[in-house]
A and B are shown apart, each in its own frame.
Chain A
């Protein structure tokens, strides 16, 4: 008997759908709003002096699970802006076609020198177009919106919560309506367990 009621329910469900507005949209014409942490491509932003912030420490190259980052650095030299000695990256190649968008390279960067950008789809007709070199990555930093995640923010999230001391402080912000706190920035910090 259950079979007959289930059949009737299945038929009713599909018929109800026929008279409802479809939930899908015609993608290239209509683009839904992206999630807060949406990210696609990469950028190498400048530091406060207007130079490329990356010091070629190889941290991102080492952690990359799909090994799509290759960089070369020639060691310290004088900065033309500040005159101080610092490391420079001379070659930086990121193969977006094999990237799995895991954001690990962003997380390990201590100098916030690599970020992801909120560029929508990055299709291309040539594979070479997906291989990002230093020029393209720096251009991305100037032309495209950076995504939410940066090395220092993400590392702070990973830290163990400071015992007892911040706890009484957190009581007051909790009373603030949730809508006033930017959801992506506030929520994960507080939910982080020990």
Chain B
């Protein structure tokens, strides 16, 4: 009962904290994107455009809620809700400090990968229920992409798991703070594993350069073509949450999570998460979209074999020496 109460309270706190960070994240992205393109970004709404997310949300909520005549009404309504739930659900086992964690599962890594992998269901649900060819194509691409990139994602995550010998995320972080950060030492499976994780994470959350499920130039807006107003806002939010939780997971698995000198653990974890979050946007506004076949090429011909090699290296490291 105590665990349930703890989970409910911390879960609510973490979820609302994430959503508030996202509000600022929208402003940050627009400002950051503007500067990357030698623009100013939002300046008119509030001081330095800080109220831009508020204006964005008000604008989105004012829009008419349109449901296509031939859409599957129930699935159409359910998909955006599930999208947010799946992305927020992954946040449950992310340790923001030894204490700030909604549920310290023994199999946290498996849980995160499982719930994160579920994201493909609301995505395809939206594509199918819209009864629109662009949406359906987007949904099918999303399935192909998420299923493919799940493999390198799991392989990348297996590296810290192998090194630390535990599936609990807070266990992995504790191991890192006792020994060394995964991405720093041993460098050879560690750092490439992080790069692999980062690429797979971008692909799983359908971000540029892996955003072919909603490639504007080909598919109008992919799965979100038929969505307007509040439901579109939910998809938008789900995407941000997914990215943010992915960044937090990367910080926890590869950069020692709450580990760091001088400041409380929570500060370090938040700083690392936000740094990775910023890198996601840096990549997003710098690179071009892959073609569908290039995407599969990269996944199956490069990332997956490399991932297998990295896991073997990590296992060899544990067996023949290095790990204490």
- A binding-site residues for B, Cβ under 8 Å: 7, 10-11, 13-15, 17-18, 20, 22-24, 26
- Secondary structure at the B interface, as helix, strand, loop or mixed, is loop
A18 touches which of B32, B40, B283, B287 (Cβ 8 Å): B32
A26-B41 Cα distance, complex, nearest whole Å: 10
Chain B stretch 24-45: residues in CB contact (< 8 A) with chain A: 32, 34-40, 43
One of B34, B40, B285 near A26 (C-beta < 8 A):
B40
Within 8 A of A (CB), among B282-309: 282-283, 285-287
Chain A residues contacting B37 (CB-CB under 8 Å) are 14, 17
Contacts of B34 in A (CB 8 A): 22
Tell whether, in the assembled complex, residue B283 and residue A24 are in contact, meaning their CB atoms are under 8 Å apart. no
The answer to whether B287 and A7 touch across the interface, beta carbons within 8 angstroms, is yes
Contacts across chains A and B counted by CB atoms under 8 Å = 36
Which of B8-61 touch A at CB < 8 Å? Answer: 32, 34-40, 43
- Is B286's CB under 8 angstroms from A24's CB? no
Residues of B within 8 A of A22 (CB): 34-35, 38-40
- Chain B 118-145, CB within 8 Å of chain A: the 1/0 string? 0000000000000000000000000000
Q: Which residue of A lies closest to B284 (CB)?
A: A14
- Identity of the chain B residue whose Cβ is nearest the Cβ of A16 in the assembled complex: B36
Known: A14-B37, A15-B36. 12 other contacts (CB 8 A): A7-B287, A10-B287, A11-B287, A17-B37, A18-B35, A22-B35, A22-B38, A22-B39, A22-B40, A23-B38, A23-B39, A26-B43
Contacts of A13 in B (CB 8 A): 286
Q: Are A24 and B38 within 8 A (Cβ)?
A: yes
Chain A residues with CB under 8 Å of B40's CB are: 22, 24, 26
Q: Which residue of A lies closest to B285 (CB)?
A: A14
| B41: nearest chain-A partner, CB-CB | A22
* Residues of B with C-beta under 8 A to A15: 36, 282
Query: Of all chain A residues, which has the CB nearest B31?
Result: A18
CB distance from A100 to the nearest CB of B (A): 29
A17 to B41, CA, bound (A): 13
Q: Which residues of A sit under 8 angstroms from B35, Cβ to Cβ? A: 17-18, 22
A22→B34 CA distance, assembly (Å) = 8
Residues of B within 8 A of A20 (CB): 38
Query: In the complex, how many residues of chain B place their beta carbon closer than 8 angstroms to a beta carbon of chain A?
Result: 14
Give the residues in chain B near A7, CB-CB below 8 Å: 286-287
Q: How far is A112 from B36 in the complex, measured between Cα atoms in Å? A: 49
Closest to B33 in A: A14
Whether A14 pairs with B39 at a CB distance below 8 angstroms is no
- Find out whether the CB atom of A14 lies under 8 angstroms from the CB atom of B36: yes
- Beyond A7-B287, A22-B35, A24-B38, whether A14 also contacts B43 by CB under 8 A is no
Within 8 A of A (CB), among B78-115: none
A24 touching B36 by the CB < 8 A rule? no
A residues near B283, Cβ cutoff 8 Å: 11
A-B CB proximity, top 9 nearest: A14-B36, A14-B286, A10-B286, A18-B35, A23-B38, A22-B40, A11-B286, A24-B39, A17-B38
**Contact mask B227-262 → A, CB, 8 Å, 1/0?**
000000000000000000000000000000000000
A17 to B33, CA, bound (A): 10
Q: Mind listing 5 A-B residue pairs with CB under 8 Å?
A: A11-B282, A11-B283, A14-B37, A20-B38, A22-B34
For B281, the closest partner residue in chain A by CB is A14
Closest to B298 in A: A3
Tell me how far the C-beta of A20 lies from the nearest C-beta in chain B, rounded to whole angstroms: 7
A18: which B residues are within 8 A, CB to CB?
Answer: 32, 35-36
Nearest A residue to B288, CB-CB: A10
Of A14, A15, A17, A26, most B-chain CB atoms within 10 Å: A14
Nearest CB of chain A from residue B35's CB, rounded to whole Å: 5
Could you tell me the distance between the alpha carbons of A15 and B283 in the complex, rounded to whole angstroms? 10
CA distance A14 to B43 in the complex (A): 20
Residues of A within 8 A of B282 (CB): 11, 14-15
Interface positions of B from 271 to 285, Cβ below 8 Å from A: 282-283, 285
**Complex CA–CA separation, A11 to B198 (angstroms):** 15
Instruction: Give A18 to B35 CA distance when docked, in angstroms.
Output: 5
Residue picked from A7, A18, A20, A26, most chain B C-beta under 10 Å: A18
The distance from the CB of A49 to the nearest CB of chain B, in whole angstroms, is 51
Q: In whole angstroms, how far apart are the Cα atoms of A62 and B184 in the complex?
A: 77
Smallest CB–CB gap between B221 and chain A, Å? 24
